[in-house]
């Protein structure tokens, strides 16, 4: 993969948690998270525990890098990905490519999709980043992947048609 753009600072901190919309290190408030991206600051923070698992660190880091791709991708590409996910929903497909999208999908309520609410848009972003990371790293199986093989194949085909992994804009 070749990312085209200004440098992104990557830092590691212990015991990351999300609390009231903020990323905190240590303590027991909020929910444990693996990482957080700060797009305008061009910064990614990863939990220090990921240093013990290179494959998991890479999966999470590439997911976070794809937040920058999603942010810079433009309306046309985001709308095309939304259409792919909407077709999955219409077909009754369930599951996701990792937990970050799965829990957001599970939290959607009636009207989110039609109203294009913040919950729906955040789910789309996480779904894109989870799918793109698995595609870019060639991950075929992982305990967090719950999406069926047919839908995974369609998503990977979409990624192949819409992402140029040799030149990603961040």
pLDDT digits (tens, 9 = 90+) for 10-47: 999 999 999 988 999 988 888 999 999 999 999 999 99
Dist. CA 75–CA 71, nearest whole Å: 10
pTM of the model: 0.94
How far are the Cα atoms of 36, 37, 50, 60, 118 from residue 5, in angstroms, in the given order? 19, 16, 25, 20, 27
Tokens of 51: 């240093």
How far are the Cα atoms of 69, 79, 96 from residue 109, in angstroms, in the given order? 27, 20, 17
Model pLDDT for residues 113-134, shown as the tens digit of each residue: 999 999 999 999 999 999 999 9
CB atoms within 10 A of CB 84: 20
Range 50-53 contact pairs with CB under 8 angstroms and sequence separation of 24 or more: 50/12, 51/12
Tokens of 40: 């305008």
């Amino acid at each position: 993969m070749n990312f085209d753009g200004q440098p992104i600072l990557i830092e590691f901190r212990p015991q990351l948690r999300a609390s009231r919309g903020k990323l905190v290190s240590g303590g027991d408030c909020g929910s444990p998270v693996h990482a957080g991206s700060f797009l305008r600051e061009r910064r990614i923070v990863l939990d220090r525990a990921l240093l013990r698992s290179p494959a998991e660190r890479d999966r999470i880091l590439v997911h976070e890098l794809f937040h920058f791709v999603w942010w810079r991708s433009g309306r046309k590409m985001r709308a095309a990905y939304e259409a792919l996910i909407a077709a999955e929903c219409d077909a009754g497909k369930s599951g996701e490519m990792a937990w970050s999208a799965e829990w957001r999908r599970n939290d959607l309520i009636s009207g989110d999709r039609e109203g294009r609410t913040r919950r729906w848009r955040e789910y789309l972003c996480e779904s894109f980043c989870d799918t793109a990371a698995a595609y870019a790293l060639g991950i075929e199986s992982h305990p967090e992947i719950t999406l069926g093989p047919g839908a995974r194949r369609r998503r990977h085909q979409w990624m192949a048609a819409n992402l140029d992994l040799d030149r990603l804009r961040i």
